[in-house]
Structure 1
Amino acid sequence: MNFEKTVKQSLIEKSKEVNPPQKLKQKVLNKIEMNSGLNKIKKRIVAGLIVIFLIIPTSAIAYQAYLADELYGSFENVKNHFASATIDSYMLLNAKLLQVKGELGKEEFQQFKDHLKIITGVKIDYGNQYGNIDFDLLPQDKVEEIKNAMMVVQPYFDRLNGHESSNDMLSAEEYELYIEALMTYEKILVQSGINPSKSFENTDVKPELLDQFLNARGIIKDVDNKIMTIASDSPFPIPNFSINNQNIEVDYVVLTYLGSDIHGNDSNDSEILLELAERLQPIGVTPSAIMEVTFDEQPQTIEFQIMNMQRNIYSKGSLEELQLPTEKGDYLIVLLGEWGDEKASYSFIAKVID
């Protein structure tokens, strides 16, 4: 069985209603030392690059395309500019825009869309194959235009991610420095030829840009720590992870479902799910380590699957038996749980090291 089919069987189902969580991951205390070069800025909706993990029914595609078209013109236009674009990701972007429209008032959404359109327009004109911009190559008036647009839309992104507004949490000077740090971080990715959807180390950054990159990343992380909150009405049970009785930090993604089989096999979203394994920050573990996972609300049933990056299922079973592999390498771990009529999958990457 190939990797696409394996991931489909483990993670997705076709459903009439999707409840995407506002917060896609939670940070818990990490007592396992990891390579700091692999640490990544948290996934967020920022600067028009909306990274989401949603499932939408195939039948929705025909009538949902207009919002994304208002920003990008058409999928064909996006594909011509960004080599990594897929129709799945375009439809998922559109689904997120529909969510945004439902959560913001009419005037707020119009302001959000108008300024987001400025950002996406500049990205189409000047962005690289990943949609990122080297701002050093833009005319100064364009740099100011996109900076001003980012200053308007970033608080909306914060809210939609379930965080406090960075504009409210920071002084005017701090907020401007934060937006400039986001732009600096983005341009250095371009100048260093880095694919932002994959893990990378500090050594992948051009040496002459490293100090500037670390400074920008430090500002972003400081702001992240200020604005990240866990809503009391979180739409999914929060897991706590430990290995060999030590609490650990896990970068995970949640997919939630309503009322149907969590092991469904039919979906057109395999491209997005394949990207899942590349986007998550791995946790470093020792061979045969024992992982324990508890939830703030215990599920009725919970199962796991472990699959390697050679597209094969390594092991599966009940959560009580979750022993990590003995062989070195990266593994995608999927926890499948049921809470009454609600079902969810929690996915993360474990790197088995010596």
Structure 2
Amino acid sequence: MAKNFEKQNPDIKIDIELTPAAQYFVKLDAAAAGGVAPDIFWINMPYFIQYAKNGLLEPLNSDIDKSKLDMGNIVASSVKAYQYNGKQLAIPRDVDSIAVWYNKKLFDEAKVSYPTNNWSWDQLKAKTAELKAGLKGDAFPLVMDLSGDGQDSYLNLLYQNGNNVVPIDDKPTDIDNDKSIWVYHQLQEMMKSGQLPTAQQMSEVKTENIFQSNRAAMAYAGSWLAAPFAGNPLINDHIGVVLMPKIERQSGVAHSLGFAMSSKGTHKAEAWRYIQFMSSEASQEILAKAVIPANKTAAKAWAANIKNVDVTPYIETLEFTKAYPTAGTNTPKWQNIWIASLKRIFMGTDAKKEMDKSVKKISRVMEK
């Protein structure tokens, strides 16, 4: 993509610097603090507010207004996530979404009907109960990763049950309200009944490994696993994927990376030309070979590029997803406090008592 840009813009040389994910923000933080951040860099949602609040990102509104870039054709939740004080400070590059995979052989073995795109949480629970009764051996009815930030598990359930997670309209976080406690209880009960693996079991084996070894009838999984699942000959002739079930509303989590421009950069005009080029439909269709592009038209090319399984539910869910939850200038810090509490809850601790203990501390960090 960069080479294509250079061919069309011979007066500009793009120097791409590859950095491993674990080191990326450590390196970028140091460069930004020293006033030597790259002209263009990727930003993600958890770090965005920190960079925006400290004036490290160049506002792009005037460049967008003068360009042919159609912001209406970019996934709306991601566009909004990169706005701060009325300014657009990054252009979404790609998006992740979540869907539910199912193993047809295991459903057939248990004599359970396959899930569909218009199902509900109650129907999912009914199917897991039927699967639990009908499956032989050590296969699980359902798996989801509850050990991390919840992007491909509990965050979706909280959104679907009417929660916002982060403070909205001057209201406090709702991760400790009755609707959230209901979600935690649902997961606890499903682990106790064997409809979900226990937290201990899930800490030992990755969700994707269980599903790819034909040991799970259903799995919540991010779009980054679509190509590996569909390309795996051990399962790809008997798997399918559907939208996540609805609870109170249809919703889900969508995260993205965004192209940002350094406010301290010395090549802003050139940087914008590159960002605009990379955001074009033609460039985004090239990106579709690897990830879901933020451009909604090009996103369809991502689904078309994945063979053997129809993965369009990942694209369809983007119409009603909410952005990955961020609050304050240190999202990773309050997330880690919350994750520690949730780990105790998923190990069996009383959900209400645990959240009562931790929510005040989480709220203080969210407000900073």
Q: Output the TM-score relative to the length of structure 1.
A: 0.27
- Larger relative strand fraction: 1
